[in-house]
Amino acid sequence: MADERMAEKFSILDMIDRKAGAARSEPERPEPVAPEAAPAVNDDHPPLPVAGDPYRAYSRLSSRPVACLFFLPKNMLPVGFLYHGLERVWMAEGERPGSGPKLIVRFSGSEVTEAVIEGRNLIPLCAALGRMAIYWVWEQPANQPAEDDAATVIRSITFRKADG
């Protein structure tokens, strides 16, 4: 008697038949799909600026780790580098007479690339980059004045391949 119950409970054919019968009696319905929600805005990682936004040289400082640093040159096409590839940040003398120091940011990766930033009052930006605490850096659009004389202003962002 116990053998009959064991055979019934563990018969593979019975299990297949039971599942097939259940599937025939009640068709499976797909899970309802919720409408796609807009991506959540992370207040700590503000959106990239767009044409027409008031000029600011760089995003506000983040209190959380930032994965990627975006550069926005005059054409407003973002160029991003992962912070984990940040190798060095330093100030160097400008190459043109009368120009102030420039800021150089070196990234290693599939190729070593340097972002060269020229402008004024770049030391706060250098410190923020060294802390990996900003999300984007924006070159000043031609039609946008700086907030004030003490503000950081980026006049030029260029990229160059560097020797590894």
Instruction: Give the separation between CA 156 and CA 17, rounded to whole angstroms.
Output: 73
**Is this model's pTM higher than 0.95 or not?**
no
Model confidence pLDDT, tens digit, residues 15-57 = 677 666 655 555 566 666 555 554 555 556 678 999 889 999 9
Phi, psi torsion values for 2, nearest 5 degrees = -65, -35
Q: What is the pLDDT of residue 20?
A: 65
Q: Where are the alpha helices (DSSP H) in the chain?
A: 2-10, 12-25, 123-130
Q: Which of the four pLDDT bands, split at 50, 70 and 90, describes residue 94?
A: confident
Amino acid identity at 41: V
Instruction: Give the separation between CA 137 and CA 79, rounded to whole angstroms.
Output: 10
Instruction: Give the separation between CA 116 and CA 65, rounded to whole angstroms.
Output: 23
